[in-house]
Amino acid sequence: MLRLHAIAAAVTVLAASAAAAPAPAPSLAEILAASPASDWRTVDPTRTLYVELPAGRVIIELAPGFAPKHAANIEKLAQAGYFDGGAIVREQDNYVAQWSQPDEKRSLGGAEKTLKAEFTRGLDGAPPFTPLPDPDTYAPQTGFSDGFPAARDPATRRAWLVHCYGMVGAGRDNDADSGGGTELYAVIGQAPRQLDRNVTLVGRVLSGIDLLSSLPRGHGDLGFYETPAERTTIRSIKLASDLPPGQQLHIEALRTDSATFAAVVRNRRFRHDAWYKVPAGRIDVCNATLPVRIVGKPAS
Amino acid sequence: MLRLHAIAAAVTVLAASAAAAPAPAPSLAEILAASPASDWRTVDPTRTLYVELPAGRVIIELAPGFAPKHAANIEKLAQAGYFDGGAIVREQDNYVAQWSQPDEKRSLGGAEKTLKAEFTRGLDGAPPFTPLPDPDTYAPQTGFSDGFPAARDPATRRAWLVHCYGMVGAGRDNDADSGGGTELYAVIGQAPRQLDRNVTLVGRVLSGIDLLSSLPRGHGDLGFYETPAERTTIRSIKLASDLPPGQQLHIEALRTDSATFAAVVRNRRFRHDAWYKVPAGRIDVCNATLPVRIVGKPAS
């Protein structure tokens, strides 16, 4: 079975009866259906996290191209079972879901508690960048690197991941170097772009973000739950490659440097269908669709 | 009792222990605490909707300055009890919550089923506009009008409301003039700015958006629930001014053309506190905080 997830949900018809209307231009689904296999990449199971919640699985792809030390550290934490029995401790509306291990005695295994910040990286040796043609409010240039929404500043020759819906970062205290991956958050609202270059983004949710975004909101300061009973338990966070081969999903992501992705972006910038009257002709980096498909049994 | 709601949640410290850190510049709370009473406006109860859900109340302010016919029509629908016993029928992750009256025989009272679209309006006679200084991806100019996020195009001399988190619109079919307010949606994810000028925005959620954003997602096409049992019932939608005076909340919104709001925007563009290392120096119209306070008993 093949499932197609349009993660940055971009289906836009607002009335039920319009769903069956004819489309005068290739639809997103048609573009993807016509894509060659070579325009897709297999998501590396050694950089994929399965977050098991009572309601199902959240799948996260880490971004070692931007946060190599954090990605490696989080992999070690997962292998040590650090997050198992942990909890989603914070759910702030239009902002983030955040999780950690409330048991302070839990072993980090071989992982570090804190790391030097990886807020930005140099352009030299950076993953290939596919720019978007439209102006961005926050950065000189935005686009996609390795399947992640990213920004660049040619003047400073720095690149960084940007805080779009579903992006995952490493919470920190006031010290820039006080994060490390023991506390992680996912964006569940309007892109909080003011966080860009202020906190280390470590990856993005490929599947199951709705399990994080639909949780009851916390009513303590900053959306923290006021009592442990309100928290959602994390059964485990495992590295996909540590599971028996039969339990590893085959996940494919559309290459963001492919012709198909360029067609997807065109489709999203100019919506030519029976519903739209005024195509925007523009797109924000956080409104682009980053298609992912899971080949095989879907996560339960 | 006075409660302060920062609707476009903008509290940004990501770790619990940082909450107590000293702030070297006036904080958002300090700016609001120092604001003169004249910088606030009382939200007009004749344009305020109370949406009663089993879990609590959602409060919506209508925008007759941009959608006068839709606002008046929705007021009539509320007065006819059109939505009472209706339901949230659609919950699409990172997109919208949508509600309607599934009972097709329900009387519209004196309201219309459909209206001519109010996607944009002329600049002449438009509500005062307070522009933001930063570039926007989608519109020549963005800012705030009458407390709502808005955009303008000096070339066409048109103005329109923009699809930020918590904005409320009137769903329609493919015909531009097929909406009218019997089907309403609220944005619960990344601003779907491609909808701007394609659908009539009728107002925004002042309080209780979390009651809409935290509902289970629908798994049918476009996020519609597959069975009526999954829907959330709407007990009633009433115009605040139709309630007995003792049941009407006194709601105040910070004037978006006030000096205090200008200070709020500066505070959000340049975060000078112990946590931020690189203030963005920019802000997106959908990342601005639009403070609202409820004087008197909060909505249950």
Query: What average pLDDT does range A107-123 have in this prediction?
Result: 97
Per-residue confidence band for B92, with pLDDT thresholds at 50, 70 and 90: very high
- Side by side, the strands of the sheet bearing A158-161 are A121-122, A158-161, A148-153, A141-145, A129-131
Higher pLDDT, A4 or A56: A56
State residue A193's pLDDT score. Answer: 98
State residue B14's pLDDT score. Answer: 42
Using a CB–CB cutoff of 8 Å, tell me whether A153 touches chain B.
Answer: no
Query: What average pLDDT does range B191-196 have in this prediction?
Result: 98
Checking if the pLDDT of A160 tops 70, the result is: yes
Checking if the pLDDT of A97 tops 70, the result is: yes
Q: Are B203 and B62 in contact (CB under 8 A)?
A: yes
Per-residue confidence band for A5, with pLDDT thresholds at 50, 70 and 90: very low
Backbone dihedral region for residue A223 (phi beyond 0: left; psi -120 to 50: alpha; all else: beta): left
Query: What average pLDDT does range A4-27 have in this prediction?
Result: 47
Nearest to B217 among A210, A278, A286 (CB): A210
State residue A1's pLDDT score. Answer: 29
Adjacent-strand bridge partners of B51 = B58, B237
By mean pLDDT, which of A290-299, B94-103, B243-252, B275-284 is the weakest?
A290-299
Cα-Cα-Cα-Cα torsion A32, A35, A38, A40, nearest 10 degrees, comes to: 0
Per-residue confidence band for B300, with pLDDT thresholds at 50, 70 and 90: very low
Chain A residue numbers with beta carbons less than 8 Å from the beta carbon of B210 are 93, 217
Checking if the pLDDT of B71 tops 90, the result is: yes
Checking if the pLDDT of A22 tops 70, the result is: no
- The pTM assigned to this predicted structure is 0.92
Residues A225-258: tens digit of each pLDDT: 999 999 999 999 999 999 999 999 999 999 999 9
Is B283 close to A137, i.e. CB distance below 8 A?
A: yes
Per-residue confidence band for B272, with pLDDT thresholds at 50, 70 and 90: confident
State residue B13's pLDDT score. Answer: 35
| Tokens read off for B77 | 């629908």
Look up residue A42 and give its amino acid: T
Residues 6+ apart with CB under 8 A from A196: A138, A139, A151, A160, A161, A162, A163, B280
Q: Which of B11, B14, B119, B273 to mutate to test the interface with A (most CBs of A within 10 A)?
A: B14
Chain B residue numbers with beta carbons less than 8 Å from the beta carbon of A96 are 14
Q: Are strands A86-92 and A232-234 parallel, antiparallel or unpaired?
A: antiparallel
State residue A24's pLDDT score. Answer: 58
Using a CB–CB cutoff of 8 Å, tell me whether A271 touches chain B.
Answer: yes
Mean pLDDT for chain B overall:
92
* Percent share of chain A, pLDDT over 90: 88
State residue A25's pLDDT score. Answer: 79
ipTM of the complex: 0.91
State residue B12's pLDDT score. Answer: 33
* Percent share of chain B, pLDDT over 90: 89
Q: Nearest-CA distance from A204 to chain B in Å?
A: 15
Query: What average pLDDT does range A65-77 have in this prediction?
Result: 98
d(CA A299, CA A247): 10
Residues A247-287: tens digit of each pLDDT: 999 999 999 999 999 999 999 999 988 999 999 999 999 99
Query: What average pLDDT does range A83-109 have in this prediction?
Result: 97
Distances (CA, A) of A109 to A48, A75, A76, A179: 19, 11, 7, 17
State residue A17's pLDDT score. Answer: 43
Residues A43-53: tens digit of each pLDDT: 999 999 999 99
Higher pLDDT, B289 or B3: B289
Residues of chain B by 3-state class (helix, strand, coil), percent to 5: 20, 30, 50
Checking if the pLDDT of B17 tops 70, the result is: no
Report how far Cα A123 is from the mean position of its chain's Cα atoms.
Answer: 22
Mean pLDDT for chain A overall:
92
State residue B25's pLDDT score. Answer: 79
Chain B residue numbers with beta carbons less than 8 Å from the beta carbon of A223 are 9
Q: Which of A3, A4, A12, A14 to mutate to test the interface with B (most CBs of B within 10 A)?
A: A14
State residue B296's pLDDT score. Answer: 67
Residues B194-239: tens digit of each pLDDT: 999 999 999 999 999 999 999 999 999 999 999 999 999 999 999 9
